[in-house]
Amino acid sequence: MSNIIDLTLVDLVEKIKKKVLSSKEITKAYIERADKSKKLNTYITEDFKNALKKADNFDNSPDFDKKLPGIPIAVKDLFCTKNLKTTAGSKILENFIPTYESTVTDNIWNEGGILLGKLNCDEFAMGSSNETSFFGNVQSPVGEKLVPGGSSGGSASALAAKLTPATIGTDTGGSIRQPASFTGIVGLKPTYGSCSRYGIVAFASSLDQAGPMTQDVKDCALLFSIISSYDNKDSTSIDYKREDYLKKLNKSIKGKKIGIPKEYRVDGMSKEIEDLWQKGINIAKEAGAEIVDVSLPNTNYALPTYYIVAPAEASSNLARYDGVKYGFRSKGKNLIDMYEKTRSEGFGNEVKRRIMIGTYVLSSGYYDAYYLKAQKVRRLIKNDFDDVYKKVDAILTPSTPSSAFKIGEKTNDPVSMYLNDIFTVPINLAGLPAISIPAGHDQKGYPLGLQIIGKAFDEQNILNIAYFLEEEINFKNKINDWWI
């Protein structure tokens, strides 16, 4: 039998159900691996003792009807977890212990999942390289000094390094798909309204969405079935019939119309990315899919729009971190002084930068020129997708314009960092689902991903396409355990 940590989530579930493995054996395996992998800095908070206790409890009275029976899982530290420190990667929440659980994580525990701990991420999910975390940057298992992407960088790194069989992240502008692409794993950003935002530290409310990050598409379908639910505690949660996405997973691609948007062929796109994209197109075509050239004319405006909308919402969402009710407080002469010091010392540079942008674009005299303008462009971007989806069933693009870069390479140039999200951001603006699957390597041997974008609530369709491509591409992650 292969090593426990080499098994997929679906395999682990099966092995537990068949009593081939116990929850404790599995949990122990991941903890041991994590203990040897501190160098990656994936964990902000480990909860290993409790995890082992819960695994014991599961083994003593197992419930095999659950979808994740006794399966240990580490999650991004943006999900509030009851009685376990939740930091959002920020000093300002350094010692914050929620008394409540996010709906998404609750769904996992209700299906038998066991919390391993909380994974590193960019501060308040603002970043594309996991370098903005107060708890230090995360290294990619793909290579030393390489960023895992962000903001769900800890999640991607932990998963690719096999410290957790699966994980969940959040995606506001690409924070699941970009790190998934950088580390050779599968990441799904669901339709806005599919997964509850209750109990997730908010970054930009109209864009944030939680999603699964997994080793393969089957795992993704399983985990997505579990975390997606209607929640009356979130006014933007949508009440629609959710499927058993794993049960309905099939490799059908024949006859499907797949759109290739010309605007994604951006200036200076590397040959490697171009080839990767073409490879995906060819596979689909050969399997009987109809390839349709489409246009998303406002793609170019998505990033500037995103960098107005997201900071604007963030500037307001992060106003609650003021040193009054919880988290870090700096002493001040008076209330205002306390606020200004607390927020100045408690937030890192990128977060402060975005709060400043957001405050500015909402301020009197600039609202119409920036925020309102961005909301109008957002409508145009959404309309682009609506038009294209009259003609096609899904859209295929690269996930990122490049492979992973070195730590420190882009930290001094915010705009070049932002450009990383050029292929992922439009999808958040339109509220659509998109999945990134590993599809190849660049010359340096770093993974590259393809993105399949679906119609709203059509996750099953993009999972099916991804499932097919995954088998055809047969990607193998080249991870040599350099950190051990």
Partner 1 sequence: MSKKQSDYTIKRNQNEYEVVIGLEVHAQILSDSKLFSSSPTKFGAEPNTQVSLVDAAFPGMLPVINEFCIKQAVKTGVGLKAKINKRSIFDRKNYFYADLPQGYQISQYKDPIVGEGSVILDLTSGEKTIGIERLHLEQDAGKSIHDIDPKNTLVDLNRSGVALMEIVSKPDLRSPDEVNAYIKKLRSIMRYLGTCDGNMQEGSLRADVNVSVRKKGEKKFGTRCEIKNVNSIKFMQMAIEYEANRQVDAIEEGESIDQETRLFDIKKNETRSMRSKEDAHDYRYFPDPDLLPLEISDDFINDIKKNIPELPDEKKKRFIEKFNLSAYEANILVSDIETSKYFEEVIKNSDVKLSTNWITGELFALLNDKNLEISKSPISAKNLSKLINLIKDGTISGKIAKSVFEIMSIEDKNPADIVKEKGLKQQSDPKELEKLIDKVINDNPDKVKEYKSGKEKLFGFFVGLAMKVSGGKANPQLINDILKNKLK
Partner 2 sequence: MTIDLKTVKKISKLARISVDDEKAKKLESDLNSIFEFIEKLNRLDTSKSEPLTSVVDAKLQLRKDEIKSQNIRDQILKNSPDENKDFFVVPKVVE
Q: Which residues are catalytic?
A: 76, 151, 175
Near partner 1 in 427-456, by CB under 8 A: none
- Which listed option, partner 1, partner 2, none, makes contact with residue 367 (CB within 5 to 8 Å by class)? partner 1
- Judged by DSSP in three states, 453 sits in strand
Burial of 286 (0-12, 13-18, 19+ CB in 10 A): exposed
Point out which span in 217-225, 228-236, 428-436, 470-478 binds partner 1 (CB under 8 A). 228-236
Write out the binding residues for partner 2, residues 294-353 only, by CB under 8 A: 298, 300-301, 303-305, 307-308, 315, 319, 322-329, 332-341, 343-344, 347, 352-353
Total residues interacting with partner 2, rule: CB under 8 A = 70
Q: Which of 378, 410, 441, 455 binds partner 2 (CB under 8 A)?
A: 378
80 touches partner 1 by CB under 8 A: yes
Q: Which is nearer to partner 2, 209 or 464 (CB)?
A: 209
Question: Sheet harboring 434-441: ordered strands across?
Answer: 43-46, 114-119, 72-76, 166-170, 210-214, 186-189, 434-441, 447-454, 394-398, 257-261, 290-294
Q: Decide: 148 and 104 in contact? Cβ < 8 Å.
A: no
Residue 211 CB, shortest distance to partner 2, in Å, is: 16
Is beta strand 210-214 parallel, antiparallel or unpaired with respect to 186-189? antiparallel
CB-based burial label for 78 (10 Å; 0-12, 13-18, 19+) = buried
Cβ-based nearer residue to partner 2, 123 or 322: 322
- The tokens of 74 are what? 């580490």
> In 3D, which of 279, 276, 177 has the Cα closest to residue 220?
177
Q: How far apart are the first and last CA of the chain?
A: 23
DSSP assignment of 289-318, as one string? PEEEEE--TTGGGHHHHHHHHHHHHHHHHG
The CB density around residue 271, as the number of other CB atoms within 10 Å, is 9
Which one of partner 2, partner 1, none is in contact with 60 (Cβ closer than 5 to 8 A by kind)? none
Measured over the CA atoms of residue 142, residue 147, residue 152 and residue 154, the dihedral's sign is: positive
330 binds partner 1 (CB under 8 A): no
Kindly identify the residues of this chain, within the stretch 189-218, that bind partner 1 according to CB under 8 A: 197-202, 204-206
C-alpha distances in Å from residue 171, one per residue of 166, 310, 383:
16, 12, 21
Residues facing 200 on adjacent strands: 79
Work out which of 136, 275, 286, 367 binds partner 1, going by CB under 8 A. 367
Looking at the Cβ atoms of 191 and 400, the one nearer to partner 2 is 191
Number of residues that bind partner 1 (CB under 8 A): 43
**In the bound complex, what is the minimum distance in angstroms from residue 470's beta carbon to partner 2?**
28
Of the candidates 78, 385, 71, which has an alpha carbon nearest to the alpha carbon of residue 209? 78
Instruction: Please identify which residue in 114, 138, 188, 357 interacts with partner 2, judged by CB under 8 A.
Output: 357
Chain positions 200 to 259 lying near partner 2, rule: CB under 8 A, are: 206, 232, 235-236, 238-239
Q: Which of 274, 217, 276 is nearest to 441 (CA)?
A: 276
Compare residues 42 and 428 and give the one whose CB is closer to partner 2: 428
Q: Which amino acid is at 375?
A: Q
Q: Kindly provide the residue ranges of all beta strands, DSSP E only, lying in 138-261, ordered along the sequence.
A: 166-170, 186-189, 210-214, 257-261
Nearer to partner 2, 65 or 368 (CB): 368
Distance in Å, CB of 232 to partner 2, minimum: 6
Can you tell me which of 12, 312, 388, 439 binds partner 1, judged by CB under 8 A? 312
**Nearest CA to 189 among 215, 167, 213, 166?**
213
Instruction: Name the site residues for partner 2 (rule: CB under 8 A).
Output: 95-97, 99, 192-193, 206, 232, 235-236, 238-239, 298, 300-301, 303-305, 307-308, 315, 319, 322-329, 332-341, 343-344, 347, 352-353, 355-357, 359-360, 363, 370, 372-380, 382, 413-415, 418, 429-431, 456
Instruction: Name the site residues for partner 1 (rule: CB under 8 A).
Output: 80, 86, 88, 93, 96, 98-100, 102, 197-202, 204-206, 232-236, 312-313, 315-316, 318-320, 322, 324-326, 335-336, 339, 359, 362-364, 367, 371
